[in-house]
Amino acid sequence: MAPVTSLASTVDQRIADALSAALPQAGAADPLLRRSDRADFQANGILALAKQLKGNPRELATRVVAALAANDVIKDIEVSGPGFLNVTVTDRAITETLAARAADERLGVPYAEQPGTTVIDYAQPNVAKEMHVGHLRSAVIGAAMVELLEFTGEKVIRRHHIGDWGTQYGMLIQYLIEHPHELDHEDGAVDGESAMSALDRIYKASRAAFDSDQEFKERARDRVVALQSGDEQTRAHWQRFVDESKIYFYSVFDKLDMEIHDEDIVGESGYNDMLEETCRILEETGVAVRSEGALCVFFDDVKGPDGDPVPLIVKKSNGGYGYAATDLSAIRDRVRNLDATTLLYVVDARQALHFKMVFETARRAGWLGDGVKAVQLAFGTVLGKDGKPFKTREGETVRLVDLLDEAVERATAVVREKDKREQLSEPEIAERGVQVGIGAVKYADLSTSASRDYKFDLDQMVSLTGDTSVYLQYAYARARSILRRAGDARPVAHPELELAPAERALGLFVDQFGETLAEVVSTYEPHKLAAYLYQLASHFSTFYDQCKALDENNPPAVTENRLFFCDITARTLRQGLELLGIRAPDSL
Ligand code: ARG
């Protein structure tokens, strides 16, 4: 199916043609077309052009209007203000453009012209540790970016860079060796929660032993050495921690209605074999230097509060490799073996300095060439209602699972309340409760700019009014319900019909979907899609109030055309929500 040219871009092209016909000396000037309140579009480009050509803008604008070729898209164009052009398009053009979108599975949205390969690093919890709201953000934003990129035709390779390596495994493994049954399951069947609680128990107990028992501490340290040198028994115990943790991770991702595949989980340990070489190359090329026994990379513009340079430490003075060595090795792997043209990291903003230094180091070493883009999609902190980092009253990190369960519980209450005529069965209420509750958590996360902190407020999240996923899901369900109740009437576009103001506004907005997606993908800003969908739902709601589709006084063609508007709006909402990882139930 063919991509559809939006009205904005058709009008833009027409005016650009008129511009160069009227003012050949202007070259390929941009009409700077924007949506407008006064007409459908406004072209602002002539002002700057007049300055450049030292002409009178209103006079130039008049010449451009005169040069406009006859066409059936622009109904009205007038010079306004100091030299803007106000443009109104024909109703026919709106309906025909939407009809072309409706005929295409992708709603006429084109593929990117030059798709590349993006390796995206997201959803990276840590082994033997509870997941928290920070991991939620990475997972939710990352999953949306995956869908969005794939929709544009980009090849996407997922990498879940889980924290599965480090000195703490010495203590964990040693403890397990000394208490061999701590990870056993009584009845064989394991669920994520019990896997996690066993891991948590071991974590706390081994930490206590490590801190209080000098001899245990020594044994734990030896165990780290054994692990790093590949001792088989030690490795096997380590693997058990990883496997148990994965059971837990999968249970949380499942709750989040998110698909994670085993082959995409390549944690820190996945790069062990490369660490030595990474450090050797850095040292040989002089990118890294020895400083106080450690192998370090320095940067002119990275200094601590005391003015001393803060280096990126790739190898510690005790010989241990850190987080940076792993990330540098991962870059080598992703560029060389996975052929990445973009490396995207969905990671907490507090790691921004780390990534800045890692990217710069990789550039200096030649691992990141000019053809490869490295981007951190940095996200802010999740705050509690009180505006402080999200903690329980006891000051502990809030468990992600508890939050999700509570969101589902509240959403289920909202669904039940909404179902006044008791049309939904209990299982249906439960199913929608999950779709609304999980959708609400995702949407709250996706609808504010990622870089900003946001307040985790369940009451607000599941509210039916305001900028929430429930509001969007509700708009979708309303549109679907009209289509269901239409009986024999079908959605059919009637370009010959005049449109009401609410229909025009809705139609023009639906037509912006593809352009919105292109912007969202090129700037890595999924919140702009959320904002678009919210506005789309608002336009639909005005249309719903003002343009009854199922009114017996409607001529049949009007009913068909309005059903057509319901249908294309519903499809656009659904597609948008799907890209954000949010379900759109048929009824609510
Ligand atoms: N596991 C880390 C954490 O919980 C996030 C990993 C981010 N990815 C990376 N390549 N460093 O904070």
Using one digit for the tens of pLDDT, what is the confidence trace for 511-541? 999 999 999 999 999 999 999 999 999 999 9
Within a domain: 154: no
CATH code at 573? Answer: 1.10.730.10
Task: Choose among 515, 540, 537: nearest CA to 528.
Answer: 515
Task: Judge contact between 312 and 358, C-beta under 8 A.
Answer: yes
Burial class (CB in 10 A: 0-12, 13-18, 19+), 84: buried
- Mean residue pLDDT across the chain: 94
How much distance in Å is there from the Cα of 383 to the middle of ligand 1?
A: 20
Residue 118: strand pairing partners: 156, 342
> How many domains does the chain divide into?
3
Three-state DSSP state, 249 = helix
Which residue's CA is minimally distant from atom 9 of ligand 1?
Answer: 161
pLDDT bin (cut points 50, 70, 90) of residue 391 is confident
Q: Is the pLDDT of residue 396 over 80?
A: no
Task: Judge contact between 503 and 416, C-beta under 8 A.
Answer: no
| Residue 571 and residue 427 in one domain | yes
Within a domain: 253: yes
Which residue's CA is minimally distant from atom 8 of ligand 1?
Answer: 161
Within a domain: 379: no
How much distance in Å is there from the Cα of 148 to the middle of ligand 1?
A: 22
Crossing angle of helices 192-212/168-178, nearest 10°? 100
How much distance in Å is there from the Cα of 484 to the middle of ligand 1?
A: 47
Single out the residue in 264, 282, 305 at which a domain terminates.
264
Pocket test for ligand 1, best of 351, 376, 400 (most atoms within 8 A of CB): 351
| Residue 209 and residue 73 in one domain | no
Mean pLDDT confidence for 121-140: 93
How much distance in Å is there from the Cα of 162 to the middle of ligand 1?
A: 6
Three-state DSSP state, 149 = helix
Higher pLDDT, 587 or 123: 123
pLDDT at 187 (0 to 100) = 67
| Residue 80 and residue 216 in one domain | no
- The number of the ligand 1 atom at minimal distance from the alpha carbon of 347 is 7
pLDDT at 421 (0 to 100) = 83
Pocket test for ligand 1, best of 120, 122, 124, 165 (most atoms within 8 A of CB): 124
Q: What percent of the chain has pLDDT over 70?
A: 99
What is the tens place of the pLDDT at every residue in 459-501?
889 888 889 999 999 999 999 999 999 999 999 999 999 999 9
Within a domain: 531: yes
| Residue 84 and residue 174 in one domain | no
- The number of the ligand 1 atom at minimal distance from the alpha carbon of 348 is 12
Pocket test for ligand 1, best of 161, 350, 379 (most atoms within 8 A of CB): 161
How much distance in Å is there from the Cα of 126 to the middle of ligand 1?
A: 8
Mean pLDDT confidence for 203-230: 94
How much distance in Å is there from the Cα of 323 to the middle of ligand 1?
A: 9
pLDDT at 384 (0 to 100) = 85
Pocket test for ligand 1, best of 158, 271, 347, 400 (most atoms within 8 A of CB): 347
Map tokens 């249906």 to a residue. 428
How much distance in Å is there from the Cα of 181 to the middle of ligand 1?
A: 30
Within a domain: 240: yes
Single out the residue in 264, 296, 322 at which a domain terminates.
264
Q: Is the pLDDT of residue 16 over 80?
A: yes
Mean pLDDT confidence for 218-232: 93
Which residue's CA is minimally distant from atom 4 of ligand 1?
Answer: 125
- The number of the ligand 1 atom at minimal distance from the alpha carbon of 330 is 10
Q: What is the CB < 6 Å shell around ligand 1?
A: 121, 124, 126, 161, 163, 327, 345, 347
Domain extent at residue 63:
7-89
How much distance in Å is there from the Cα of 278 to the middle of ligand 1?
A: 19
- The number of the ligand 1 atom at minimal distance from the alpha carbon of 162 is 1
Segment among 116-125, 455-464, 498-507 with least mean pLDDT: 455-464
Q: What percent of the chain has pLDDT over 90?
A: 81
What is the tens place of the pLDDT at every residue in 368-383?
999 999 999 999 998 8
pLDDT bin (cut points 50, 70, 90) of residue 547 is very high
| Residue 83 and residue 178 in one domain | no
| Residue 436 and residue 546 in one domain | yes
pLDDT at 1 (0 to 100) = 66
pLDDT at 71 (0 to 100) = 81
How much distance in Å is there from the Cα of 161 to the middle of ligand 1?
A: 6
pLDDT at 154 (0 to 100) = 98
Give the whole-angstrom CA distance, residue 90 versus residue 86: 13
Half-sphere exposure of 394 (CA within 13 A, CB side): 4
How much distance in Å is there from the Cα of 138 to the middle of ligand 1?
A: 9
Mean pLDDT confidence for 385-400: 79
- The number of the ligand 1 atom at minimal distance from the alpha carbon of 355 is 11
How much distance in Å is there from the Cα of 348 to the middle of ligand 1?
A: 8
Segment among 296-300, 360-364, 454-458, 544-548 with least mean pLDDT: 454-458
Single out the residue in 54, 89, 124 at which a domain terminates.
89
| Residue 84 and residue 173 in one domain | no
- The number of the ligand 1 atom at minimal distance from the alpha carbon of 323 is 11
pLDDT at 572 (0 to 100) = 98
CATH code at 25? Answer: 3.30.1360.70
Residue 386 CB contacts under 8 Å (≥ 6 apart), including other chains? none
Helix (H) or strand (E) holding 289: strand 289-291
- The number of the ligand 1 atom at minimal distance from the alpha carbon of 126 is 1
How much distance in Å is there from the Cα of 122 to the middle of ligand 1?
A: 8
Within a domain: 341: no
| Residue 59 and residue 205 in one domain | no
- Among the residues of 256-383, which ranges form H helices? 272-284, 323-336, 352-364
What is the tens place of the pLDDT at every residue in 317-361?
988 898 999 999 999 999 999 999 999 999 999 999 999 999 999
Q: Is the pLDDT of residue 393 over 80?
A: no
- The number of the ligand 1 atom at minimal distance from the alpha carbon of 327 is 10
The pTM score is 0.95
Task: Choose among 316, 281, 314: nearest CA to 298.
Answer: 314
How much distance in Å is there from the Cα of 163 to the middle of ligand 1?
A: 7
- The number of the ligand 1 atom at minimal distance from the alpha carbon of 163 is 1
| Residue 68 and residue 202 in one domain | no
Within a domain: 272: no
Which residue's CA is minimally distant from atom 11 of ligand 1?
Answer: 327
Task: Judge contact between 467 and 447, C-beta under 8 A.
Answer: yes
Q: What amino acid occupies position 224?
A: V
Segment among 138-142, 221-225, 503-507 with least mean pLDDT: 221-225
The DSSP result for 39-55, as a single string, is SSEEE-HHHHHHHHHT-
What is the tens place of the pLDDT at every residue in 240-269?
999 999 999 999 999 999 999 999 999 999
Q: Is the pLDDT of residue 573 over 70?
A: yes
Which residue's CA is minimally distant from atom 5 of ligand 1?
Answer: 124
Within a domain: 343: no
| Residue 461 and residue 556 in one domain | yes
How much distance in Å is there from the Cα of 216 to the middle of ligand 1?
A: 29
What is the tens place of the pLDDT at every residue in 403-460?
999 999 999 999 999 888 888 999 999 999 999 999 999 999 999 999 999 888 888 8
